[in-house]
């Protein structure tokens, strides 16, 4: 046995591997230690994207191509450890999308789930299944699998948000379907605010039967989530690893808002330092308010509002903040928990 756990390759063995290779057969013992690792071993690297810098490039893209021509004018946040793969983590995609005043990103649908987290502008809309929602800073908006969706900006300011999709997961299962809508925009058939009224008031329509895998709410307004954290803050019960951390839920079943992706919003009070924490769900963080630094596996990243950073699977994380700070995050925890794969390590706290 050589040092990497792979049995030595003798000339006889090499000849044998070559011979059976022609028959689409290959020896497990030559690859076993690289496919079954004692701990997660990922190509995903820790990385931070400074929003101001990315926004400058996105605005430059705004002058190069219209939303109409691009279908979606997006700069992908591509993990430097996996170039060319359109991935921010092994299982997830992230991008920054720009919709200029007067533009429409045409209606389409696909089997990938999408989330939006609003970063710039206010009052542009996204339409999902016949209902429009106006988007404001920090709003978390979902597009369920195979739901028609289009975006439009009738304001006089550019609108920018972070897109998070489960593209690599859907690709892994070879289950991608997509189609365009015959018109740029789908007909508006429901009033704005309808889904939040029906499902977002701690109540459900009397005969509602929950059959879909995604939440019936498609905009979780930041104002509401932020207020909840502010009230909880007064109680002063801090989790050592997370500060105050809330999970976005599907109100119909208490599960995650989306079938594959989990989202959270957390508040870390001024001068808080979290305890070392790691979990198997590689996580994308967006700084919403405040400022501080996050140390991932010994490497420190300073961040301020709108900066985006990624923590790979099973790497330890410590956040330190200089002022009250809010972080939005998303990961594939929803999928991992359904499959019985998710693990965390809180140290001893």
Cβ proximity to ligand 1HN, 260 vs 295, nearer residue: 260
Cβ proximity to ligand 1HN, 123 vs 205, nearer residue: 123
Q: Which run of H or E residues covers position 180?
A: strand 178-180
Q: Read out DSSP for 38-92? A: SS---S---EEE-HHHHHHHHHHHHHH--HHHHSS-EEE---TTSTTS--SSSS-
CA distance 323 to 292: 8
Cβ proximity to ligand 1HN, 163 vs 307, nearer residue: 163
Cβ proximity to ligand 1HN, 78 vs 163, nearer residue: 163
- The contact pattern for ligand 1HN, residues 63-102, with x = CB under 6 A and - = no contact, is ---------x-x--------------------x-x-----
Beta bridge partners of 239: 243
Q: At its nearest, how many Å lie between ligand 1HN and the CB of residue 163?
A: 4
Q: At its nearest, how many Å lie between ligand 1HN and the CB of residue 60?
A: 19
Q: At its nearest, how many Å lie between ligand 1HN and the CB of residue 71?
A: 8
Q: At its nearest, how many Å lie between ligand 1HN and the CB of residue 143?
A: 6
Structural contact between residues 57 and 75, judged by C-beta atoms closer than 8 angstroms? yes
Token representation of residue 187: 């007909």
Q: Which of 213, 217, 210 is nearest to 193 (CA)?
A: 217
Q: Beta-carbon neighbour count of residue 192 at 10 Å?
A: 14
Cβ proximity to ligand 1HN, 151 vs 315, nearer residue: 151
Which of positions 296-315 make contact with ligand 1HN (CB under 6 A)?
A: none
Cβ proximity to ligand 1HN, 111 vs 299, nearer residue: 111
Q: At its nearest, how many Å lie between ligand 1HN and the CB of residue 327?
A: 22
Tell me which DSSP letter residue 205 carries: -
Cβ proximity to ligand 1HN, 218 vs 277, nearer residue: 218
Q: At its nearest, how many Å lie between ligand 1HN and the CB of residue 169?
A: 13
> Binding of ligand 1HN at residue 346 (CB under 6 A)?
no
In the three-class reduction of DSSP (H, G, I as helix; E, B as strand; rest coil), residue 224 is classed as helix
Helix intervals (H) in the chain: 11-21, 32-35, 51-64, 67-70, 167-172, 194-199, 222-233, 333-338
Q: How many residues bind ligand 1HN (CB under 6 A)?
A: 12
Q: Which residues contact 63 (CB under 8 A, 6 or more apart)?
A: none
Structural contact between residues 289 and 280, judged by C-beta atoms closer than 8 angstroms? no
Which of positions 112-171 make contact with ligand 1HN (CB under 6 A)?
A: 114, 149, 151, 163, 165, 167
Q: At its nearest, how many Å lie between ligand 1HN and the CB of residue 97?
A: 6
Residues near ligand 1HN, by CB under 6 A: 72, 74, 95, 97, 105, 110, 114, 149, 151, 163, 165, 167
């Amino acid at each position: 046995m050589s040092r990497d756990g792979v049995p030595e390759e003798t000339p006889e063995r090499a000849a044998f591997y070559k011979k059976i290779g022609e028959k689409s057969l290959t020896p497990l013992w030559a690859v076993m230690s690289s496919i079954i690792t004692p701990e997660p071993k990922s190509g995903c690297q820790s990385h931070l994207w400074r929003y101001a810098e990315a926004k400058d490039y996105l605005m430059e893209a705004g002058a190069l191509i219209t939303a109409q021509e691009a279908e979606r004018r997006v700069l992908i946040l591509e993990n430097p450890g996996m170039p060319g793969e359109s991935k921010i983590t092994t299982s997830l995609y992230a991008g920054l999308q720009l919709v200029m005043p007067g533009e429409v990103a045409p209606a389409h649908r696909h089997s990938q789930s999408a989330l939006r987290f609003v970063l710039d502008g206010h009052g542009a809309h996204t339409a999902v299944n016949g209902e429009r929602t106006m988007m404001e800073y920090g709003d978390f908006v979902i597009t369920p699998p195979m739901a028609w969706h289009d975006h439009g900006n009738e304001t006089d300011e550019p609108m920018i948000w972070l897109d998070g999709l489960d593209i690599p997961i859907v690709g892994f299962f070879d289950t991608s379907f997509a189609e365009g809508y015959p018109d740029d925009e789908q007909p508006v058939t429901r009033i704005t605010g309808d889904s939040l009224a029906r499902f977002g008031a701690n109540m459900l329509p009397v005969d509602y039967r929950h059959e879909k895998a995604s939440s019936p709410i498609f905009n979780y307004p930041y104002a509401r989530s932020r207020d909840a954290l502010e009230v909880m803050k007064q109680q002063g019960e801090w989790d050592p690893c997370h500060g105050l951390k809330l999970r976005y839920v599907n109100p119909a079943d208490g599960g995650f808002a989306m079938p594959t992706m989990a989202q959270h919003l957390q508040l870390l009070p001024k001068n808080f330092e979290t305890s070392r924490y790691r979990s198997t769900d590689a996580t994308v963080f967006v700084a919403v308010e405040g400022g501080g630094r996050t140390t991932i596996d010994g490497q420190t990243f300073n961040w301020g509002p709108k900066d985006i950073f990624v923590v790979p699977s099973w790497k330890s994380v410590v956040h330190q903040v200089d002022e009250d700070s809010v972080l939005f995050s998303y990961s594939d925890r929803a999928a991992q928990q359904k499959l019985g794969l998710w693990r965390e390590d809180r140290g001893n706290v």
